[in-house]
Structure 1
Amino acid sequence: MKKYPDADANIFLTFSFSSYQLSDQPNILICDWPYDYFIRHFKEKSPDFFERRSIKRDNQQLAGSDLVIVLFKSILPSMVSNFEDRKIKYLDQYVINSLYKVGDNDELTMKKPTHNILFVGGNNYLYISGAKNLVEAFELIKKEYPLAKLHIVGLEKTDFDQLPDGVTCYGYLDKGTQSGKQLYYTLLQSTNIYVNTNTKWSGLSTTIEAMYFHIPVVVFPYDEFISIFGREINFGYYCFENTAEKIADAIRNIFNESQYIQMCRNAHLAVKDFTWSSYAGKLLDEIESVVNKRL
């Protein structure tokens, strides 16, 4: 604020601090979810003494803001119930984080009759159970598809007790580096199925990027995904139980799908309009509206 005292607005990519009571310019917050939601929904517990202090700080910043942009639709009802609905906004769109532009049929020409499975996650409680169950599912289908391969991004070999043949762990791939970017997109281009069945969160942005590359998906029907794509999907399968047996069944269904190429097309078509330019336009319109009210 000292560097840009004449800015039209102060924008913060967090709910934890802002220019509330520090500036006369409009105070705008953009983030995924407040700390209270994170503790109660993902941690599944009541906040402790120190967490309550952080939650109180969040609530003060949110209450003192002129505009709050939430990134996920499923968080909107709880936010609106706790704060003035006039200033809590969801832009009704997600964004593809791909560094490549993919045409409607580009990746289809590269599809090969292979059995490559991709998982992208991280070595924390949100992802590890789904990854371990997927490894068990992979062992179940290996006899039927002996040439199948499972590629795991975001986890190391040491995160598992043991891995069967055909499973490769890459750890974290930094798309900001040439080598990381090249390997990541090579995996996407050669993948036949994307699987992440964690029940709370399956890495929405990564799933959407996989779909953009014409990849059918197997995911748990968590609230955010259903809010975007509905309770029935034509670009993969919902896995209603995060178990090895159910994951294996869903993988078999896609491997044996007679209309597999159409399923690939459906995946791409479901997300192809989630562009940065469209999202940025909506965001700027909201910011401009707040700024103009102050003029």
Structure 2
Amino acid sequence: MNKIVIISEGDANNPKTWSNIPYFLMKSLENDGNKVYTIDVGPNKYINYFFNKIIYPFIQLIDGKDSEYKFNRTVIYDKYCKYKIRKSLKKIGDIDVTISTSYSFAPVIHKNYKIILLCDWTFEYHIENYKKREPTNLELKAIRRQEEIINSANVVISLFPNIAKIMNQKYANVKYIGNVINIDDNLKINLDYKYNSNSILFIGGKRYVEGAKTLIKSVQYLNEEKHMNLNLNIIGLNENDLNINKKDYINYYGYLNKINGSDHDIYYKLIINAKICINTTPIWAGFSSIIEAMFLYTPIITSKYESFENTFGKKFDSNFYSDNNYITLSEKIMMIVNLNKSLYFDLCKEMKNMVSDMTWSQYVKRLENEFK
């Protein structure tokens, strides 16, 4: 049995923290016989609010209007994390491993336990690849602090192979051990029902509005011009997020908490009953929800972005990539909807096979190898 401390920005016991990852990580390690403690280094909500609402606008005047130097990137927050971690570890006592679910906080180097960082990408990668610009002066200071933390860790793990490859050009201790799906894998799937379904599913919050609007336009085109009678279910957005005229065939569910009983049932019922799950938002298209749909035998259409391509390689049929263009997307939707039952079943099984090893129980086994 290992004594493990999970450090997260937010309570690991709360499933809402960082896309459920700290929660599922904690539960899976416990289920495998480990003793798990948690440290929440989330900032004080009043200080965080004051900084981001009052001070941050002045920082934008100095550092640039696009600056992302919010409270959790400051040296104040860095010092707070170090203090909170040091104090909490002293209270917990002897341990074997710490796992930080960020590259921005970790304990200081210690000979008696191993320090592991588990995250998706660095702040530097975010700025250069998603913001498409050079870091500002203050952002650069936050990047330097992150670099110190990464260099001090025993093992650094990225959830994406292309990110690990990029990080390995700069750091000596980065690994990719696979990805993982936050899912209840005991759900029953009826492929006959999926085949006969007319439901298209979109999952994504406000950062994916661009993809949602394109999909709405595609479904509208297919229903009104091609008479396909499709039903579109949208999880993560409300009608007022999109500013689109009400349509009887579009259902908005807003945010659904997968751990909550009724929300859980609605969320998974929508995936299980969906004919296709679609998100074609450029650059990043809801990776976690897309692979979750795949795990539940649901064909997907997604945008072509590096992390997805590098995760699945040639296993993923390029026919199911789509530009964020409603005409192209409509053609892809028709291609799947018009498959006969045998070919549709094969496609569903192919989706499942591509992600079948991404369960938390399997991921934790690979992670535990890094404790040695």
TM over 0.5: yes
Matches within 5 A, 1:1-295: 1-21=89-109, 25-84=113-172, 87-91=173-177, 93-102=178-187, 106-124=189-207, 127-143=208-224, 144-163=226-245, 164-231=247-314, 233-234=316-317, 237-239=320-322, 241-258=323-340, 259-288=343-372
Residues 145 and 233 of structure 1, relative CA distance in 2, 3 Å threshold? farther
**1:117 counterpart letter in structure 2:** I
Q: 1:112 to 1:250 in 2, by over 3 A?
A: closer
For 2:244 and 2:187, the matched residues in 1 are separated by 36
CA shift for structure 1 position 280: 0.5
Letter in 2 for 1:77: K
Q: Deviations over 1:146-188 (max 9, x none)?
A: 4211111111101112143311111110012111101101101
- Alpha-carbon offset, residue 25 of structure 1: 3.1
Runs (4 or more) in structure 1 with deviation over 4 Å come to 21-24
For CA contacts below 8 A with separation 6 or more, give which structure has more relative contact order. Answer: 1
Deviation sequence 1:69-110 (CA, Å, 0-9, x none):
1111110122001111xx21110x22222224246xx43143
2:108 is matched by which residue type in structure 1?
A: Y
Alignment check: 8 A CA contact 1:217 1:236 kept: no
**For the residues of structure 2 that align with 1:135 and 1:123, how far apart are their CA atoms?**
15
Counterpart code for 1:88: V
Relative to 1, partners in 2 of residues 1:216 and 1:63: Cα closer, same or farther, differing over 3 Å? same
Identity %: 31
SS in 1 for 2:92: coil
TM-score by length of 2: 0.71
Task: Determine the C-alpha separation between the residues in 1 that align with 2:294 and 2:219.
Answer: 21
Q: TM-score, normalised by structure 1?
A: 0.89
The answer (yes or no) to whether the contact 1:107–1:213 under 8 Å persists in 2 is no
| Higher mean C-alpha displacement, 64-73 vs 16-25 | 16-25
Query: Are residues 50 and 23 of structure 1, via their aligned partners in 2, closer, same or farther at CA, if it must alter by over 3 Å?
Result: farther
Look up the equivalent residue of 2:174 and give its one-letter code. Answer: I
Between 260-269 and 18-27, report the one with greater CA deviation.
Answer: 18-27
Unaligned 5+ segments in structure 2 are 1-88
Does the CA contact (< 8 Å) of 2:157 and 2:164 recur in 1? no
Letter in 2 for 1:198: T
Cα-to-partner distance string for 1:114-145 (whole Å, 9 max, x where unaligned): 32100101112xx1111111111111111324
What CA distance in whole angstroms lies between the structure 1 residues aligned with 2:272 and 2:255?
18
Once the 2 structures are TM-superposed, how far is the Cα of residue 5 of structure 1 from its aligned partner?
3.0
Secondary structure of residue in 2 paired with 1:119: strand
Counterpart AA for 2:181: I
Q: RMSD between aligned alpha carbons? A: 1.9
| Distance (Å, rounded) in 2 between the aligned partners of 1:283 and 1:88 | 13
More displaced 10-residue stretch of structure 1: 27-36 or 224-233 = 224-233
Aligned letter for 1:62?
Answer: I
Checking the alignment, whether the CA contact within 8 Å between 2:209 and 2:242 is kept in structure 1 is: no
* CA distance, structure 2, for counterparts of residue 173 and residue 10 of structure 1: 31
For 1:50, the aligned partner's letter is: L
Structure 2 partner of 1:291: none
Given that 1:234 and 1:263 are in contact with CA atoms closer than 8 Å, whether structure 2 keeps it comes out as no
Q: Which runs of 5+ in 1 are unaligned?
A: 289-295
Tell me, in whole angstroms, the C-alpha distance in 1 between the residues paired with 2:287 and 2:277: 12
Tell which deviates more after alignment, 136-145 or 113-122: 136-145
Native 8 Å contact 1:235 1:264 kept in 2? no
Amino acid at match of 1:99: D
